[in-house]
Amino acid sequence: MNDTEEVDVELGEAMRTQHACRYYREDPVPDEVLRQAVERARFAPNGGNRGAARFVFVRDPELRRQLGEWYLPLWEEVAAATRANKPAITTASGQHKTTELGFRDPAKTLADSDHFAQRFGSHPVIVVVCVDLAATHPTDTELDRLSIVGGASVYPMAQNLCLALRDQGVATTFTTLLVAREPEVKQLLGIPEHLSTACHIVAGYPARPFPTRLHRPEVRELAYADRYGAAL
Ligand SMILES: Cc1cc2nc3c(=O)[nH]c(=O)nc-3n(C[C@H](O)[C@H](O)[C@H](O)COP(=O)(O)O)c2cc1C
């Protein structure tokens, strides 16, 4: 135990300060802590209660090193676009991927995220969150837009995993950039063909205290009463 760890943090406090941790200590996270986090996260809501999510906790240094090697160029592409004030990256197939940052000090966030990305493969744990898409019920595939509902069967459990780790003093960062390398990641970790990767959560004991306040939209900007735009 040390001064950056908080155990049994109050739920409201945890929700208000659940940040993307960019600086980790090197100490390993005991398997029992990871197991306890899954023990709690498994109660998350999920479509049809079909249990479509799976977690691979990567602690092996060589496997993490490989994941980090794949992650860094993906981050560097985003960071370069952001630094060049390009609001989005457009893929070969015409998809727009926004690169803007909603922070008061984007330069600091970029520097922190560079630090995080350069050490991606050295952070103590990388949780590969997988989902069996055949066990999801995406209700939006016939709309003329990207589907988001398939992912909804796995993200609540992934967020609860982060909260359950936080409750044991472990900080996390949600990442999705590495999903672009899904075939290689699946092969590296022996992930079965029928599973897809949803995100990669970095976890470890934080090198700095948890924040006391995060920069987010105000309630009046997020929530409306009965009609969009009407104040709640
Ligand atoms: C769905 C999702 C995908 C994300 N992907 C990445 C990522 O690939 N790389 C990264 O550095 N951060 C990623 N993040 C972290 C966000 O940048 C972070 O949650 C946000 O900037 C707020 O940061 P804060 O909690 O420190 O204020 C992701 C977060 C979410 C929820």
Q: pLDDT tens digits, residue range 3-28?
A: 445 577 899 999 999 999 999 999 99
Nearest CA to ligand 1 atom 19: 20
Q: What pLDDT is attached to residue 3?
A: 45
Give the model confidence (pLDDT) of 149-202 as tens digits.
989 999 999 999 999 999 999 999 999 999 999 999 999 999 999 999 999 999
Domains belonging to the chain, first-starting first, are 11-222 (3.40.109.10)
Residue among 32, 27, 46, 54 at smallest CA distance from 197: 54
Question: What SS3 class is residue 185?
Answer: helix
Separation CA 136–CA 131 (nearest Å): 9
Above 90 in pLDDT, residue 90?
Answer: no
Distances 142 to 147, 148, 149, 198 between C-alpha atoms, Å? 9, 12, 12, 21
- Using a 6 Å cutoff on CB, does residue 19 contact ligand 1? yes
Nearest CA to ligand 1 atom 16: 20
User: Hey, which of 15, 174, 201, 202 would you mutate to test ligand 1's pocket, going by the most ligand atoms within 8 Å of its Cβ?
Assistant: 174
Q: What's the CA-to-centroid distance between 20 and ligand 1, angstroms?
A: 6
Tell me how far apart the terminal alpha carbons of the chain are, to the nearest angstrom.
43
State the pTM of this model: 0.94
Q: Are 121 and 66 in contact (CB under 8 A)?
A: yes
Q: What pLDDT is attached to residue 6?
A: 52
- Using a 6 Å cutoff on CB, does residue 174 contact ligand 1? yes
Separation CA 158–CA 226 (nearest Å): 30
Above 60 in pLDDT, residue 2?
Answer: no
Ligand 1 nearest atom to the CA of residue 21, by list position: 26
Above 60 in pLDDT, residue 1?
Answer: no
Q: What pLDDT is attached to residue 5?
A: 52
Q: What's the CA-to-centroid distance between 226 and ligand 1, angstroms?
A: 30
Handedness of CA 142, 195, 63, 205 (dihedral sign): positive
Q: What pLDDT is attached to residue 103?
A: 73
Give the model confidence (pLDDT) of 96-135 as tens digits.
777 777 777 889 999 999 999 999 999 999 999 999 999 9
